[in-house]
Amino acid sequence: MTDITTAAPMIGVLAKPEDYDTVREFFELFKTPWEFCGRGRRYQVVLQADGGLTDRAADLVLLYGSEATSFDHECRRLPGAPRRNTTLSWGGAILPVYGKAVPFAGDDGARDVLMVDTSEPVAWTKRSGTKTVVRIGYDLFGEIRHLLTTGQPPAHAGIPTLERHIALLRSGIVGAGIPVVEIPPVPVGHRFIVCLTHDLDHPSLRFHRLDHTTLGFLYRAVIGSVVKACRGRLSLSALWRNVSAAVALPFVHLGWAEDFWFTFDRYLQIEKGLASTFFVIPIKGNPGRTLDGRAPRLRASAYAVADIADRIRSLASAGSEVGVHGIDAWLDSGRGLDERDAVSRVTGASTVGVRMHWLYFDDQSPARLEQAGFAYDSTFGYNETVGFRAGTLQAFRPLTAKQLLELPLHVMDTALFYPSHLNLTPEAAKKMVLPLLDEAERHGGVLTINWHDRSIAPERLWGGFYLDLLDDLKRRDPWFPTAAQAVAWFHRRRAARFELPQQDNGSVRVRAFACADGLPGLTVRTYKPQASDRPLRAASRVDFTDATLGDSLDTRLAVSCP
């Protein structure tokens, strides 16, 4: 047991009943002491988002909402006309709002959270004696619900919006002179997490005859490569490799030449001992279904996991994780169970994660995948771009699931380089990806990368970019677990609890449970108060201290709450 002197108020939350589940999930992501407001209980901080009366006896009330409240009428400062799908600016950072946001008139210097296009303030502060009310003109939990279900449009993909909502809330508390204690999404010894994953869509040329995959390969290897070389987007050596691969195609099928696609286990050498996860297709020849009927025939796979069983077992024996690249699991839990069992029979693993082929997903998918027995899902991301669809770097529980966590997908090779998507040069792709790494260092959490099986082979030849990306990542010293290990760490963090024992006034107890061997520890982070007349002002410097929750996982923190 470790004793640390700090301050840790319990946040009391007032929310609409339909938002309760969203509130619970939000405070698993912002892991700080909180509870729904209890009758007769006094809180130092109240987060109010229920539209009711602001009559709680608290030092700080953070009042969210896009509708006029009794507080607004009392202060004679009613909100202006609401704006939908707008963007706010906070300390120079963009904060998209997907529901309604309202401005407030006034000349009292409330300039910390503004409408980008009109520069109208969306938040202001009132102090009365020892009580402070910070009025923020949008529906916090409505925004969180949108991010965790629908997600962000590609135009805002580069913005970790949910993390910025957390940062704004934290800033409001600390800026009011009240400390914040949390368990950040940062594993001990590292600044963030990286999951290297690989979808095995086309693991062997010999599985394809003269089908659309082969014809597409020949076109891109010859005509497409020549066009790229003429435009200066492909080196002559790469052009030669691609044309040579096209010429060798008949000999590959005859068994006279190496199948240059059947080398996906080269990732074990490329990643040099870093953990990674491979998602394999369970059945072949079935394109699956969409919500409206049968999926396009092009979605059908030319192989099944049983066709590459030996290679899959060798990956597992080398320490890699093998998951399901699902076909119908997202739509049908019974078929999902069959898909999970098909992979489990090959790997012998009882715990299996999933990522859907072509990233098929809807709001009920998490419940179906959970019912099928999957340990986690890693589908929620973009086909057409890279970034934070859920606005977060954290594994989260989708609101239709009970226990299953979503490991969001952030960077995918085909999104960067496909002509039908971003179609970037390596230089442009690097400029787009590096800010995502910066955000991971800033907020913690997990950055999930997907590099397909044949992306290191002709005709794609994206292996050089991947090696450079790995070098950039390793210089930042993240933890490189398998997807299952990363999810297990987040489960460990979620299981931690803050308690304010009645019999031990002035202390907070952090309780957590033992975890599997090899997982990093948790950190208790205390943000020092920075009292200001402008609580929401973005601080140029954030002061905090960290204490490690090690193997004992039972730490008592002495606090100084009023």
Per-residue confidence band for 502, with pLDDT thresholds at 50, 70 and 90: low
Same domain (yes/no): 148, 229: no
In the chain, the largest separation of any two C-alpha atoms, in whole Å, equals: 85
- The count of structural domains within the chain is 3
Is 245 part of any domain? Answer: yes
* pLDDT value, residue 200: 97
Residue 516 lies in a domain: no
pLDDT over threshold 80, residue 504:
no
CA angle 429, 433, 438 (to 5 degrees): 150
Residues 133 and 70 grouped into a single domain: yes
- Both tokens of 476, joined, read 């930042």
Q: How confident is the model at residue 541 (pLDDT cuts 50, 70, 90)?
A: confident
- Rounded to an integer, the average pLDDT of 269-278 is 94
Q: Mind listing the pLDDT tens digit for each residue in 302-333? A: 999 999 999 999 999 999 999 999 999 999 99
Nearest by Cα to 184 from 530, 490, 553: 490
In a domain, 199, yes or no: yes
Instruction: For residue 109, name the pLDDT band (cuts at 50, 70, 90).
Output: low
Q: Are residues 286 and 399 in the same domain?
A: yes
pTM for the model: 0.94
Q: Per DSSP, what are the bridge partners of residue 557?
A: 4, 508
Q: Are the C-beta atoms of 527 and 174 separated by less than 8 Å? A: yes
Comparing 500 with 12, which gets the higher pLDDT?
Answer: 12
> Does 434 share its domain with 327?
yes
What's the domain range around 250? 206-258
Count of alpha carbons within 13 Å of 556, Cβ hemisphere only?
Answer: 9
Rounded to the nearest 5°, which phi and psi values hold at 100? -105, 140
Q: Per-residue pLDDT averaged across 404-411, rounded?
A: 98
Statement to judge: residues 454 and 330 lie in one domain: yes
Specify the range with the lowest mean pLDDT, choosing from 49-58, 245-254, 268-277, 458-467: 49-58
Place 222 in a pLDDT band, splitting at 50, 70 and 90. very high
Residue 297 falls inside a structural domain: yes
In the predicted structure, residue 38 carries a pLDDT above the cut 70: yes
Per-residue pLDDT for 562 more than 50?
A: no
Which pLDDT belongs to residue 432?
A: 98
Same domain, 276 and 413: yes
Torsion angle (degrees, nearest 10) of CA 364, 370, 375, 381 = 0
Q: What is the pLDDT of residue 514?
A: 57
* pLDDT for residue 1 is more than 50: no
pLDDT the model gives residue 7 = 47
**Residues in Cβ contact with 380 at an 8 Å cutoff, skipping those fewer than 6 apart:** 151, 361, 389, 390, 398, 406, 408, 409
Q: pLDDT digits over 435-487, tens only?
A: 999 999 999 999 999 999 999 999 999 999 999 999 999 999 999 999 999 99
How does pLDDT run across 151-186, given as a tens digit for each residue? 999 999 999 999 999 999 999 999 999 999 999 999
Pair 270, 238 in one domain? no
Instruction: Read off the pLDDT band of 284 (50, 70, 90).
Output: very high
Residue 70 clears pLDDT 70, i.e. is over it: yes
Average pLDDT, the chain: 91
Q: Torsions phi, psi of 542, nearest 5?
A: -110, 120
Bridge partners for 83 per DSSP: 101
Examine the domain organization and report whether 74 and 146 are in the same domain.
yes
Q: Are residues 413 and 290 in the same domain?
A: yes
Supply the pLDDT for residue 549.
77
Kindly report the number of other CB atoms within 10 A of residue 42's CB atom: 14
Quote the pLDDT of residue 515: 55
Name the band, by pLDDT with cuts 50, 70 and 90, for residue 51: confident
97, 198: one domain: no
Q: pLDDT tens for residues 418-439?
A: 999 999 999 999 999 999 999 9
Reply yes or no on whether the pLDDT at 560 is more than 50: no
Look at residue 472 and tell me if it is in a domain: yes
Inside any domain, residue 467: yes
* pLDDT beyond 70 at 123: yes
Same domain, 272 and 328: yes
Of residues 527 and 3, more confidence is placed in: 527
Specify the higher pLDDT residue, 111 or 259: 259
Asked whether residue 494 is domain-assigned, the answer is no
- C-beta of residue 376 within 8 angstroms of C-beta of residue 406: yes
Which of 456, 488, 520 is the last residue before a domain boundary? 488
pLDDT > 70 in the chain, percent: 93
Q: In what order do the strands lie in the sheet with 131-136?
A: 34-36, 11-15, 45-49, 60-64, 131-136, 123-128
Q: Which residue has the higher pLDDT, 497 or 8?
A: 497
- The mean pLDDT of 386-413, rounded to a whole number, is 98
Nearest to 374 by CA among 398, 340, 401: 340
Write the CATH number for 418. 3.20.20.370
Asked if residue 518 belongs to a domain, the reply is no
3-state helix, strand, coil in the chain (%, to 5): 35, 20, 45
**Domain final residue pick, 429, 455, 488:** 488
Residue 392 shares a structural domain with residue 470:
yes
